[in-house]
Structure 1
Amino acid sequence: MAALDKLYRWGEVQGLVAEAPFTHRAVWRRGHAGRRGQIATRNDAYERAAKRSDVRFLTLEDYRVFRDVGLRGLTLDGAERPGARDRNGARNALFAELLVTTGLRLEEASSLFAAEVPAGAAAAGRQIWLELPACLTKGERGRRVLLPRRLAQQISAYLAVERAAAVTKFQARGGWGSIDQPIFADGIQPGAVLRLRDGRTVSLDALTPDERARVVLCGDGAPCEPAALWLTEVGQPVRPNSWEAIFARASRRCAEAGAPVRISPHQLRHTFAVHMLAMLIQRRLQEAAAPAGPMDSYRELLGDPLQQVQRLLGHASLATTYVYLDHVASRADTIDAAVEELLALVPTGRPA
């Protein structure tokens, strides 16, 4: 990356390229061995090497407890608990489901537009490929994320009921007046283009997460509504720091119910990575029963699952994804399934 950065900088000086494709920012670097700290320039495409200790994932049972007890306000046995149910519990649980089934980062998931989730495909019972704009993703690389069929249907229900009710309150209260520097637009055109009220158009790839939270749609004389997918009870976009507070409150509720789990949104990304990698490896173990050469078997068992998870998570380097492999062994069901599959491949000897 550093070599490419220097190459493009040289190309700019020589007039071979109009501009370098990398962006930079100033970071504070702490001094060592008595040296003073200093401000340094850092390439935004830099991705810190992952360490095993960085990964914190949940068992699926712990996640279920957090979702049902912490976010939905139910009891440990799944019953309704009078007076403790969160008014936005269904929305909050749906947001958690999005994180744990797609591996989206918090800022990516919280900055989606409602129009970016095609409702028709969900109604038809199909899975949805969700296109993440470049400005939402780390390193501005953009990527595609697959929404499971059940999740797509749940989001469609949220759009039709809970979000629609929030939009009605937003319009009745003139909620756009509570948005700092709102960006009014007529609508989103085919090709992922936002059409502003003054006639200009802006690519969705160019909108930052902060700008996305300020977009208000008022097209064709219709009452204004936020473009954001996730809205508060009165129709204001839910910001990333609000989700952090929601998860912290849900963790406290779990502890009060006798299930001490502390969960952050980013842990659900780790949870997706570990469990998805484990399931893909299980599938490769099953497929490995077919005759294949040793290199083909290795590619089937490790190469494809790692690369698939790398693409889903949007990692620039496979080494970043590889760290999750260390945690797959801690999934007891994966170990059991792997042993059973391997035993099935061992030829049965004839009794002497």
Structure 2
Amino acid sequence: MNAWQVRATMEEFDFPADGVLFDTRLLTEGRAEWLREVGLEPGAPFLISPQFEYDVVLNRFFEAPGMRMRAVSTQFGYARDLAAFLTFLWVARRQRSWRDAVEEDHLAYLTWRRRDGDGPRVAGSTWNREVAGVDAFYRWAVRAGHVATSPIPQVARRARVGSHLARRTADEQRPATYARDAGGERVEWLPPVEYRVWRDVGVRGFGAAGLPRPGFRGRWAARNATFCDLMVRTGLRLSEQCALTVFEVPRSAPGAGGYARFWLPAAVAKGSSARWTYMPGAVMADVEDYRRWDRAEVVADAQAVGRYARWRRPWVVEDPGRPVARRVGSPLKVAVEHLALRERRLLLVEGPGGLEPAMLWLGEGGQPLSVSAWKAMFATANRRCRAAGVRLAAHAHLLRHTFAVVTLEQLQRGHLAALAEQDPRQREHYTRVFGDPLDWVRRRLGHRSVVTTMIYLHVLAELEMQTRMALVPDGWDLPGDVVDETVDAA
């Protein structure tokens, strides 16, 4: 192995997650004690060197307070970017240690990543993300006294107009090698008509003409299509939607219209951005069908062979009407809303046929589906589209962008139409009560600042009004799909 590897500390599963073992104590019942001994939190990332060595000092970075407070997906993003730089030091810089890295190493990495004809030629935005991750590591290492200086050159931050919008800190330095072609205003999204084509061909297995293909045997086509519909209609991140349990998602009666809302708890929301999420009635009905048929079937099959009885030290909700979980073998009780994704994957609830997973989205064997499994589903859907001659592709974050662009355009239309019919006093009252469409979308996306959400305004500004009217219809659903458009605020 010539690369640094990212692993995950998973106390309840094969450890590490990819099966690369570096200490015999990880095979014993004392693995939890070993985790505490070295200061690792179950589920956190760590790095292994090309020589299968665990660098205790380096991996303390992932246990630093600033890193622990970040979302798990963000932690792994930092780990992957740091591993890529360390691999470059090992392969291209004569097995240089991270402690000995100098500015010339970083500049050589820049040349290879962005300009070398045999290199990956990454985009400016990708490079900036990578630099930010490595810079954060070396800032920590300098503060902790592990290295004297950082290999990443710094420059003074430029003064910003309207700086009251940005958080002021004592650190006025930034990496000097940040790219200027990051293209921060470029957003990929699909108009509703194109989204449906991608979903039907790629996920449901329809032909390019929009009709079911007789030979398609997609066992989970309906579940996967419902998952995508929920994402594109709510703006949830992939990690957030994967973490949903049966306690969060409301149940619906067949044919229910309008909207229902559910609370996304801070424990699974990126950046702890807990918020209300609004689910259209048509999507809610599809989720209910999945729960009643496909999900119930795999749960029953798993219960019949005792699959859930073999889970090691699960969390259990004994009273479905009271979502409080207890860890088997421990008197500790925790409300489900405070459980993180890794704990929810081990959460069982008493159902009609016995204990079953509380996670909403389950796979063929009745086990909770992982983030990587859903990423693979998107990749498969894109391959089906290419095979069918449909030049469309999507990933989870693109569906989130689609929600933002379409919702913002529709809200602005309704907002302007309502204001046009009112006098100045009524307009002022309306704005106070219903707020700004941009801020409403910000809240649904979980953005801390409206400045982040403004990127979607730039997308709409680049489209001519006639084009906007054609690409974004007044409603998502086809005629007759939704009974009414009222929002249930209860």
For the criterion TM > 0.5, the same-fold answer is yes
The two structures have a TM-score, normalised by structure 1, of 0.76
Query: Unaligned 5+ residue runs, structure 2?
Result: 1-63, 69-77, 86-100, 107-134, 142-166, 168-181, 471-490
Counterpart residue identity of residue 445, structure 2: L
* Deviation larger for 176-185 or 206-215: 176-185
Determine the structure 2 residue equivalent to 1:75: 207
Residue 141 of structure 1: how far off its partner (Å): 3.0
Aligned partner of residue 224 in structure 1, secondary structure: strand
C-alpha spacing 1:173/1:332, structure 2 compared with 1 (3 Å): farther
C-alpha spacing 1:154/1:323, structure 2 compared with 1 (3 Å): same
The whole-number CA distance in structure 2 between the counterparts of 1:196 and 1:181 is 7
Aligned partner of residue 25 in structure 1, secondary structure: helix
The whole-number CA distance in structure 1 between the counterparts of 2:343 and 2:302 is 19
Residue 194 of structure 1: how far off its partner (Å): 2.5
Deviation sequence 1:154-189 (CA, Å, 0-9, x none): 111111111111111111232226756533442445
* Deviation larger for 133-142 or 28-37: 28-37
Determine the structure 1 residue equivalent to 2:372: 241
Determine the structure 2 residue equivalent to 1:267: 398
C-alpha spacing 1:287/1:120, structure 2 compared with 1 (3 Å): closer
Residue 59 of structure 1: how far off its partner (Å): 1.8
Deviation sequence 1:237-262 (CA, Å, 0-9, x none): 11111000000000000010010222
The whole-number CA distance in structure 2 between the counterparts of 1:149 and 1:96 is 15
Indicate whether 1:253 and 2:378 are aligned: no
Deviation sequence 1:181-240 (CA, Å, 0-9, x none): 5334424454x53345555420223211111111122479x5221111011122111111
C-alpha spacing 1:79/1:266, structure 2 compared with 1 (3 Å): same
Aligned partner of residue 281 in structure 1, secondary structure: helix
Deviation sequence 1:282-328 (CA, Å, 0-9, x none): 1122123224449958x96x971100000111100110001110112
Counterpart residue identity of residue 282, structure 1: R
The whole-number CA distance in structure 2 between the counterparts of 1:208 and 1:176 is 20
Indicate whether 1:39 and 2:81 are aligned: no
Indicate whether 1:288 and 2:419 are aligned: yes
Show the 5 A alignment for 1:195-234. 195-197=326-328, 200-218=332-350, 222-234=353-365
Deviation sequence 1:92-139 (CA, Å, 0-9, x none): 000000000000000111111123222156775452111111111122
Give % identity.
Answer: 35
Aligned partner of residue 147 in structure 1, secondary structure: strand
The structure showing larger relative contact order (alpha-carbon pairs under 8 Å, at least 6 residues apart) is 1
C-alpha spacing 1:174/1:64, structure 2 compared with 1 (3 Å): same
Query: Unaligned 5+ residue runs, structure 1?
Result: 1-21, 339-352
Aligned partner of residue 318 in structure 2, secondary structure: strand
Counterpart residue identity of residue 210, structure 1: R
Determine the structure 2 residue equivalent to 1:173: 305
Quick check: 2:313–2:327 contact (8 Å CA) kept in 1?
Answer: no
The whole-number CA distance in structure 2 between the counterparts of 1:324 and 1:336 is 13
RMSD over aligned Cα, in angstroms?
3.4
Choose from 124, 129, 132 the match for 2:261.
129
Indicate whether 1:186 and 2:228 are aligned: no
Counterpart residue identity of residue 40, structure 1: R
The whole-number CA distance in structure 2 between the counterparts of 1:122 and 1:80 is 24
The whole-number CA distance in structure 1 between the counterparts of 2:220 and 2:189 is 25
* Deviation larger for 94-103 or 195-204: 195-204
The whole-number CA distance in structure 1 between the counterparts of 2:463 and 2:309 is 50
The two structures have a TM-score, normalised by structure 2, of 0.56
More helix by share: 1
Quick check: 1:111–1:228 contact (8 Å CA) kept in 2?
Answer: yes
Indicate whether 1:151 and 2:250 are aligned: no
Show the 5 A alignment for 1:67-106. 67-106=199-238
Residue 77 of structure 1: how far off its partner (Å): 2.1
Quick check: 1:275–1:328 contact (8 Å CA) kept in 2?
Answer: no
The whole-number CA distance in structure 1 between the counterparts of 2:140 and 2:344 is 27
Show the 5 A alignment for 1:3-18. none
Determine the structure 1 residue equivalent to 2:67: 25
Determine the structure 2 residue equivalent to 1:59: 191
The whole-number CA distance in structure 1 between the counterparts of 2:277 and 2:267 is 15
Aligned partner of residue 247 in structure 2, secondary structure: helix
Quick check: 1:186–1:196 contact (8 Å CA) kept in 2?
Answer: no
Paired residues in the alignment total 307
Residue 56 of structure 1: how far off its partner (Å): 1.5
Quick check: 1:179–1:214 contact (8 Å CA) kept in 2?
Answer: yes
Aligned partner of residue 24 in structure 1, secondary structure: helix
The whole-number CA distance in structure 2 between the counterparts of 1:85 and 1:330 is 41
